[in-house]
């Protein structure tokens, strides 16, 4: 069976690449996923997606603001069997004001709910930051899950720590898999492999080939170079010992990644879509920020995946994307579930919306554990 995938908030194609990179067979039938349509509001992002995911069908990517998008346009392109939507995380991230569903971006999850009711796909995958769990004192997640379940789906939410699945990055994402209630399939959370891949392995094994796209170096100012000379691998501008004249003159710090060097023996810290104020992500030994190709490597995009737009636009696209190899973990488990193929999984109980107030009090890594 080949599932046709539709995407809202598609980004540059991390989810699609992860979904399309595999197929499983139970001996009688093969199960795979193919692109049907995708939509995003950012022109450069849409162009990146078109050229890398569906170069032969560019019209299947609709570049339009979700607030005014007519879903009829999507229906005219193709019916879908699965839906993916990584709804914007700005208001749920711990880096920010955490307005949750009361912010500008928080309510956008509702367009995923609207799409589920409209298209009634067999399954969906929704993705957001781990901070979603605590937004609005836990109320945001409870509301989102209640509405997704109300659209007709059994839900399988889990906080995934991608570094535990061989992704060279400490990227924690809350992912909700939903399967339509009339379908007798149960999704199991794939068990971590605990095969650690370090930042150095990601960037150096193998080396980035000469002439690779998006590999332009950033010109570093003299003050930044001097500051980096005093920062050891794994340290940032506030944990390193440096002369007073090089210290940042700030009273309140909301992020520990400012001028932070990678530790070559550990996975990278989280790649983000920002870049100003010392948040580019910095090499462990060279006094410079990473190139966009290096950032893409850490996000597990292959070297032949070319991003389009200005250097700043590409940096944003990479940071906002779902790592393809992380998405692959989820989709492989989903395909195995439909194929009836057993796989290593985490022992969990499916939480019902009514149990969420109690689950909210559990440690974040135990949200999906059998506590109900």
Which pairing describes strands 172-180 and 153-161: parallel, antiparallel, or unpaired? antiparallel
pLDDT of amino acid 109: 83
**Residue 89 designated active-site:** yes
For 224-261, the pLDDT digits (tens) are 999 999 999 999 998 999 999 998 887 655 567 899 99
Burial 250-287 (b: 16+ CB within 10 A, else e): eeeeeeebbbbbbbbebbbbbbbbbbeebbbbbbbeee
Q: Is 369 helix (H, G, I), strand (E, B) or coil?
A: strand
Q: Residues 145-166: what's their mean pLDDT?
A: 95
Checking if the pLDDT of 62 tops 90, the result is yes
Q: Residues 179-191: what's their mean pLDDT?
A: 97
pLDDT of amino acid 106: 46
pLDDT of amino acid 268: 98
Checking if the pLDDT of 51 tops 50, the result is yes
Q: Residues 204-213: what's their mean pLDDT?
A: 96
Q: Residues 308-331: what's their mean pLDDT?
A: 96
For 330-364, the pLDDT digits (tens) are 999 999 999 999 999 997 645 444 444 444 444 33
Q: Read off the pLDDT band of 183 (50, 70, 90).
A: very high
CA distance 103 to 108: 10
| pTM attached to this predicted model | 0.88
Please report, for the chain, the start and end positions of each structural domain, with discontinuous segments joined by +: 2-196+322-366
pLDDT of amino acid 251: 63
Checking if the pLDDT of 89 tops 80, the result is no
Q: Read off the pLDDT band of 30 (50, 70, 90).
A: very high
- The runs of H, that is alpha helices, within the chain are 14-20, 43-53, 71-77, 109-119, 139-150, 199-204, 222-229, 292-298, 311-320, 324-339, 356-359
**What is the percent of the chain with per-residue pLDDT over 90, rounded to a whole number?**
74
Checking if the pLDDT of 262 tops 90, the result is yes
| Range with the poorest average pLDDT among 205-209, 259-263, 293-297, 345-349 | 345-349
Q: How far is CA 284 from the centre of its chain?
A: 24
C-alpha distance from residue 88 to each of 74, 105, 129 (Å): 20, 6, 9
Higher pLDDT, residue 358 or 141: 141
CA distance 57 to 151: 30
Q: Residues 165-170: what's their mean pLDDT?
A: 97
pLDDT of amino acid 110: 86
pLDDT of amino acid 27: 96
**Are the CB atoms for 257 and 269 separated by under 8 Å?**
yes
CATH no., domain 2-196+322-366? 3.40.50.150
| Cα-based torsion angle of the residue sequence 343, 192, 96, 69 in order, rounded to the nearest 10 degrees | -20
Q: Which of 10, 54, 63, 89 is catalytic?
A: 89
């Amino acid at each position: 069976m080949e599932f046709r995938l539709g995407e809202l908030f598609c980004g540059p194609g991390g989810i699609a690449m992860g979904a399309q990179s595999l197929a499983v067979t139970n001996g009688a039938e093969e199960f795979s996923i193919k692109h049907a349509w995708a939509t995003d509001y950012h022109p450069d992002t849409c162009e990146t997606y078109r050229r890398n995911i569906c170069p032969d069908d560019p019209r299947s990517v609709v570049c339009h603001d979700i607030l005014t998008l007519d879903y009829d346009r999507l229906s005219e392109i193709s019916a879908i069997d699965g839906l993916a939507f990584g709804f914007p995380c700005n208001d749920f991230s711990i880096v920010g004001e955490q307005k949750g569903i009361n912010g500008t971006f928080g309510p956008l999850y509702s367009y995923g709910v609207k799409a589920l009711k409209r298209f009634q796909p067999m399954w969906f995958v929704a993705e957001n930051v781990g901070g979603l769990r605590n937004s609005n004192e836990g109320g945001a997640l409870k509301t989102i899950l209640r509405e997704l379940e109300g659209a007709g789906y059994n839900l399988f939410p889990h906080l995934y720590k991608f570094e535990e699945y061989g992704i060279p990055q400490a990227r924690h994402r809350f992912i909700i898999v939903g399967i339509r209630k009339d379908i007798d399939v149960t999704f199991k959370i794939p068990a971590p492999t605990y095969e650690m891949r370090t930042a150095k392995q990601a960037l150096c094994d193998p080396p980035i080939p000469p002439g690779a796209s998006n590999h332009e170096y950033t010109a570093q100012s003299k003050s930044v170079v001097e500051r980096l000379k005093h920062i050891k691998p794994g340290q940032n501008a506030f944990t390193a010992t440096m002369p007073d004249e090089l210290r940042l003159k700030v009273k309140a710090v909301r992020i520990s990644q400012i001028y932070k060097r990678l530790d070559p023996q550990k996975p990278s810290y989280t790649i983000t879509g920002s870049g100003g104020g010392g948040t580019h992500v910095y090499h462990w030994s060279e006094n410079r920020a990473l190139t966009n190709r290096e950032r893409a490597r850490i996000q597990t995009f292959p070297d032949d995946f070319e991003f389009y737009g200005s250097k700043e636009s590409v940096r944003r696209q990479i940071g906002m994307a779902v790592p393809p190899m992380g998405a692959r973990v989820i989709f492989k488990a989903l395909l195995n579930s439909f194929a009836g193929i057993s796989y290593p999984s985490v022992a969990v109980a499916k939480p019902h919306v009514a149990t969420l107030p109690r689950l909210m009090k559990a440690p974040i890594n135990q949200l999906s554990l059998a506590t109900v």
